[in-house]
Structure 1
Amino acid sequence: MKRRTAREKAFQALFQMNNNEMDTDEAIQHVVEDPVVDHFLHDLVHGVIEHRMELDGWISDHLDNWSFDRLPYVEKTVLRMAAYEMKHNEEVPNQVAINEAVELAKIFGEEDSGKFVNGVLSKML
């Protein structure tokens, strides 16, 4: 599975976990077609869940005129994923994590979601 696809699936799994009572592996299995789970996808979903409090704090520190609790869930999820990659995945350059997050925000978010996500993540560099 390509990393872009893995990120989309990770977003979907994390989003589902917010809306339904699912554990992490169940959410991942729900969004993938093959029974074999991609390592990058698995690490991203589990990592975001495991480090959620730390990531939320780091993101909150870089929000201007917003509280983290008021963010739409699409933006929260995308920001958490990118923050996890930036902080905990040495294989992914920060700029790649930001660009991929902007693309996810454009796909799943509102019209200005990509710009918002780019602004927040750029401050986190």
Structure 2
Amino acid sequence: MNRKKSRELAMKLLFQMTINKQDFDDTIEALGESSSLKDIDMDYLKRVVNGIENNKNILDERIQKYLKNWKLNRISKIDITILRICCYEFLYEEDIPKNVSINEAVELGKIYGEDKSASFINGVLGNMIKDINKE
């Protein structure tokens, strides 16, 4: 199982859910049993996607706290999806090192985001991790 691929698929599913206004069950059901899922950690995928949907308000409040001169609704859908995944991992996935979460988020930003997405994501998460480490 590949956590990196699983995280990337989680991002795609969450983005799809946002754009298509789908719920968790419909999105997971539509995934089916594709052969492209052979390296995916389905437990992680389901836990993260469902966890983000169930805790979206908590995650968004936490993210908003670290946005300087920005509002959540002004951030691209892909960037906010990436931030939610990393924030969720910070708060609820104790077995994932925080620096790994940040690095993976930045890489997703480079691949799927706009030109400045990676540095924006890194800045938000860098400030967030400083406070989380103090807690």
Is TM > 0.5 for Structure 1 vs Structure 2? yes
SS at match of 1:22: coil
Distance (Å, rounded) in 1 between the aligned partners of 2:65 and 2:115: 24
Partner of 2:116: 112
Partner of 2:11: 11
Of structures 1 and 2, the larger Rg is shown by 2
Distance (Å, rounded) in 1 between the aligned partners of 2:15 and 2:83: 12
The answer to whether 1:103 aligns with 2:107 is yes
Instruction: List aligned pairs for 1:15-94, cutoff 5 A.
Output: 15-31=15-31, 33-34=34-35, 38-94=42-98
Give the partner amino acid of 2:2: K
As a proportion of its length, which structure holds more helix? 2
Deviation at residue 69 of structure 1 after TM alignment:
1.3
Number of residues paired by the alignment? 125
State percent identity of aligned pairs.
39
The alignment's TM-score, normalised by the length of structure 1, stands at: 0.92
The alignment's TM-score, normalised by the length of structure 2, stands at: 0.86
Deviation at residue 25 of structure 1 after TM alignment:
2.8
Give the partner amino acid of 1:106: K
Deviation at residue 29 of structure 1 after TM alignment:
4.1
Distance (Å, rounded) in 1 between the aligned partners of 2:4 and 2:79: 17
Distance (Å, rounded) in 1 between the aligned partners of 2:9 and 2:46: 10
* Cα pair distance change 1:66/1:106, threshold 3 Å: same
Unaligned runs of 5+ in 1: none
